[in-house]
Structure 1
Amino acid sequence: MRAIRCNTYGPPSNLVLESVPDLKPKKHEVLVQVKACGINFPDSLIIQGLYQIKPELPFTPGSDVAGVVKAVGEGVDHVGPGDHVIGFVAYGGLAEEVIMPAKACFPKPKQMDFPVAASFMMAYGTSYHALKDRAALKPGETLLVLGASGGVGLAAVELGKLMGATVIAAASTDQKLERCAAFGADHLLNYTKADLKSSLKEITSSRGVDVILDPVGGSYSEPAFRGIAWEGRFLVVGFAAGQIPKIPLNLPLLKGASIVGVFWGQFAMSQPKQNLQNTRELMAWHAEGKLSPHIHKTFNLEDAPKAIEELMHRKVQGKVVVQME
Structure 2
Amino acid sequence: MNTTTGKAWRAIKFGPPAESVELQQLTWEAPPEGHVLIRVSTAGAGFPDVMMTAGQYPLLGDPPFGLGEEAAGEVVAVSTGSRLSVGDRVTGITAFLQGWGGFAEYAYLREISTIRIPPTMTDEEAGGFPIGFRTAYAALVDRTPIEAGQTLLVLGAAGSTGTAAMQLGKALGAKVIAVAGSQDKLDFCSRHGADHVIGYRDENLTARLTEITDGRGIDLIFDPVGGDTAATALKSIARNGRIALVGVASGNPVPLNPMDMLLRNYSAVGVLATPGDPEAEALVWERLAELAGAGKVTMPVGRVYDFHDVPRMITEQSTPGPGKSVVRVASA
Which category of TM-score, normalised to the shorter sequence, fits these structures?
A: over 0.9
**Stretch moving more, 142-151 or 87-96:** 87-96
Instruction: Tell me which of 277, 283, 288 is aligned to 1:277.
Output: 283
Q: Name the CA distance, whole Å, in 2 between partners of 1:238 and 1:213.
A: 10
**1:49 and 2:55 are equivalent in the alignment:** yes
Q: Name the CA distance, whole Å, in 2 between partners of 1:77 and 1:292.
A: 27
Identity among equivalent pairs (%): 35
Instruction: Tell me which of 13, 17, 23 is aligned to 1:17.
Output: 23
Please tell me whether the aligned partners of residues 160 and 323 of structure 2 are also in contact (alpha carbons under 8 angstroms). yes
**2:205 corresponding residue in structure 1:** 196
- 3-state secondary structure, aligned to 1:270: coil
Q: Name the CA distance, whole Å, in 1 between partners of 2:309 and 2:292.
A: 29
**1:64 corresponding residue in structure 2:** 70
Instruction: Tell me which of 80, 88, 94 is aligned to 2:85.
Output: 80
**1:39 corresponding residue in structure 2:** 45
Tell me how far 1:182 sits from its aligned partner.
0.7
Give ranges in structure 1 of 5+ residues lacking alignment: none
Instruction: Tell me which of 125, 129, 132 is aligned to 1:123.
Output: 132
**1:323 and 2:332 are equivalent in the alignment:** no
**1:139 corresponding residue in structure 2:** 148
Please tell me whether the aligned partners of residues 113 and 281 of structure 2 are also in contact (alpha carbons under 8 angstroms). no
Tell me how far 1:239 sits from its aligned partner.
0.7
Please tell me whether the aligned partners of residues 198 and 227 of structure 1 are also in contact (alpha carbons under 8 angstroms). no
Instruction: Tell me which of 91, 94, 100 is aligned to 1:89.
Output: 94
Aligned residue identity for 1:6: A
- 3-state secondary structure, aligned to 1:47: helix
**1:6 and 2:11 are equivalent in the alignment:** yes
**2:3 corresponding residue in structure 1:** none
Q: TM-score by structure 2 length?
A: 0.92
Tell me how far 1:24 sits from its aligned partner.
2.8
Aligned residue identity for 2:246: V
Tell me how far 1:198 sits from its aligned partner.
2.8
Please tell me whether the aligned partners of residues 66 and 114 of structure 1 are also in contact (alpha carbons under 8 angstroms). yes
Question: Which deviations, in whole Å up to 9, do the C-alpha atoms of 1:7-46 show, x marking residues without a partner?
Answer: 1111221212121233332233212211110002212111
Aligned residues: 320
Instruction: Tell me which of 178, 188, 192 is aligned to 1:169.
Output: 178
**Stretch moving more, 195-204 or 315-324:** 195-204
**1:244 and 2:253 are equivalent in the alignment:** yes
**1:299 and 2:305 are equivalent in the alignment:** yes
Does the C-alpha gap of structure 1 residues 300 and 55 become closer, same or farther in structure 2, counting only changes over 3 Å?
A: farther
Superposition map of 1:149-164 within 5 A: 149-164=158-173
**1:210 and 2:219 are equivalent in the alignment:** yes
Tell me how far 1:107 sits from its aligned partner.
2.2
Q: Name the CA distance, whole Å, in 1 between partners of 2:16 and 2:227.
A: 20
Please tell me whether the aligned partners of residues 23 and 97 of structure 1 are also in contact (alpha carbons under 8 angstroms). no
Question: Which deviations, in whole Å up to 9, do the C-alpha atoms of 1:268-292 show, x marking residues without a partner?
Answer: x223322322222222222222222
Q: TM-score by structure 1 length?
A: 0.94
Q: 4+ residue stretches of structure 1 with deviation over 3 A? A: none
Q: Name the CA distance, whole Å, in 1 between partners of 2:108 and 2:179.
A: 37
Question: Which deviations, in whole Å up to 9, do the C-alpha atoms of 1:36-69 show, x marking residues without a partner?
Answer: 1000221211111101112442111101111111
Please tell me whether the aligned partners of residues 5 and 60 of structure 1 are also in contact (alpha carbons under 8 angstroms). yes
Aligned residues: CA RMSD: 1.6
Tell me how far 1:90 sits from its aligned partner.
4.8
Please tell me whether the aligned partners of residues 95 and 108 of structure 2 are also in contact (alpha carbons under 8 angstroms). no
